[in-house]
Chains A and B, each alone.
Chain A
Amino acid sequence: MKNSLLILAFFAVGVASGALEWIPAWLQHPQATHYALLLLLFLVGVSVGGDEKAWELSRHLHARVLLIPATILCGTLIGVALVAPLLVDISVREALAVGSGLGYYSLSSVLITELHGERLGVIALLANVMREILTLVLAPLLARYLGKLAPIAAGAATAMDTTLPVVSRFSGSEYTTVAIFSGVVLMVLVPLLVTLILGL
């Protein structure tokens, strides 16, 4: 949570310094973002590839456990696709791209900005931050009325880190490994899905 606030603070300071026009010219160089994004994707890869525990975990779980992240992904995409027609200036494809963020807002917002534009990037940032907050707030209710998998579904890619504490608290510690596994799978899918959906 501390990290999420810090990230939002950086975004807010960026908005303020942009609006107030105290920006060094080199930062406005469009390539700066591009190279920083390449670096970030590279490092995301390093952390996924290097995470022995996550890979180890997947070996001990039944293949059936893959159903969980698959269900979460399908549910998210169906949900956003259904409401897209209600939003006048958002196409189904754009809605799918935002949904594919799966709560991983730092990467998805920047990636979407780079591939599609700032407007959708900002929507992706806000929507995926909200998903994390919704999960943190609603986890007890979800676990009680919609089953132990519901907090894991709401958390999506964040179920492996920022929302893991509330998931294991309210779904029960026996769901911790499932949450981490599902979160890792979804996190890896975020950059792939976003690029695929916007690249087509």
Chain B
Amino acid sequence: MFTLFLALASGTLLGVILRRRSRLLAASNRIMSLSIFALLFLLGLSVGTNEDITHSLDRLGLEALVLSLAGTGGSVLLAYLLYRRLYREK
């Protein structure tokens, strides 16, 4: 867990240092896309070899849908209340 934080923090520091070097930053964004593709492939791979998961994908999907609706709904409702307070009073 600490190494994860460290990776994030050192990256941010380097990003701040590299601010004016837009070509390096663009390259880093491209590598980021590639590493996301690689990671999602690897995640798929371990999911595909795990029968526990492949056999319950429909159930996991349903749970994901419930969590997704609840999270989105909660944030939208609170944002609605905030919107009324911030903007309607003026």
User: Chain A: residues with CB nearer than 8 A to chain B?
Assistant: 3, 6-8, 10-21, 23, 27-28, 32-33, 36-52, 64, 67-68, 71-80, 82-83, 86-87, 89-90, 95, 98-99, 106-107, 109-111, 113, 115, 118-119, 121-128, 130-131, 134-135, 142, 146-150, 152-154, 156, 191-192, 195, 199
Contact = CB atoms under 8 A, between A and B. Distances in A.
Interface in B48-90: 48-50, 52-54, 57, 60-61, 63-80, 82-84, 86-87
A18 B7 CA distance: 29
Interface of B: 1, 3-5, 7-19, 25, 28-29, 31-33, 35-50, 52-54, 57, 60-61, 63-80, 82-84, 86-87
A64 B84 CA distance: 15
B73 A79 contact: yes
B85 to A, nearest CB: 9
Contacts of B76: 75, 142, 146, 150, 153-154
Given A72-B79, A146-B79, A149-B82, A86 B11 contact: no
B28 A21 contact: no
Contacts of A32: 42
B32 A16 contact: no
Contacts of A43: 11, 28-29, 31-32, 35
Given A18-B47, A36-B39, A41 B4 contact: yes
B44 to A, nearest CB: 2
Nearest to A147: B83
A122 B53 CA distance: 9
Contacts, number: 295
B66 A74 contact: no
Given A42-B8, A76-B72, A147-B79, A118 B50 contact: yes
B54 to A, nearest CB: 6
A14 B48 contact: yes
5 contacts: A6-B37, A28-B45, A28-B46, A98-B67, A191-B4
Contact of A14 (B3, B9, B43): B43
Contact of B43 (A23, A83, A125, A142): A125
A8 B44 CA distance: 9
Contacts of B29: 43, 47
A48 B15 CA distance: 7
Nearest to A109: B43
A146 B74 CA distance: 12
Contacts of B47: 14-15, 18, 118, 121-122
